[in-house]
Amino acid sequence: MQNRDAVFLEDFCPKLRVRRWRQSLHTFTGESCIYCGKPSESIDHVLPRSRGGLSITENCVPACLSCNGHKSDAEAFDWYRRQRFYDPRRAMAIRAWMDGDLRLAIRLLEWAQPQIDKNQARSKDYSTDWDFQAA
Ligand SMILES: [Zn+2]
């Protein structure tokens, strides 16, 4: 019953739903920037909205303000390859994320940033949920 109430409430409060969705994106990466690994403070559109990028999970990644600001309207992968903190594992994670394979994206990010495991137990819980859902 409580679950049905929650859905009901969110249908009438789209802002609440958007906020929860954004929070869930940050939780997937252990609240770290998908590009550089610093704390994520914003949501970046991989394909910019100005180029028709949609506000859907596949196109929205947690990013720090620095990466989000510097990337602006540049093509994400072109921009990313030019950065000092470029990490091919993260680039693969972003591609997996855009393919909708968050499970693979999280694995790649954990590979690039092993401390996610220790410091962000919650992200581990989330990836376990995904394992369960995909099984
Ligand atoms: Zn960053």
Q: How far is the CA of 71 from the centre of ligand 1 (A)?
A: 10
pLDDT tens by residue, 12-58:
678 888 899 999 999 999 999 999 999 999 999 999 998 999 999 99
| b/e sequence 80-111, b meaning 16+ C-beta within 10 Å | beeeeeebeebbbbbebbbeebbbbbbbbbbe
Structural domain including 76 reads: 2-119
Taking ligand 1, which is a single-atom ion, which protein residues have CB atoms under 5 Å away? 33, 35-36, 38, 64, 67
Q: How far is the CA of 74 from the centre of ligand 1 (A)?
A: 15
11 part of a folded domain: yes
126 part of a folded domain: no
pTM of the model: 0.76
52 part of a folded domain: yes
Q: Is the pLDDT of residue 111 over 80?
A: yes
55 part of a folded domain: yes
131 part of a folded domain: no
124 part of a folded domain: no
73 part of a folded domain: yes
Look at the chain and report how many structural domains it folds into.
Answer: 1
125 part of a folded domain: no
Q: How far is the CA of 39 from the centre of ligand 1 (A)?
A: 8
Q: How far is the CA of 4 from the centre of ligand 1 (A)?
A: 37
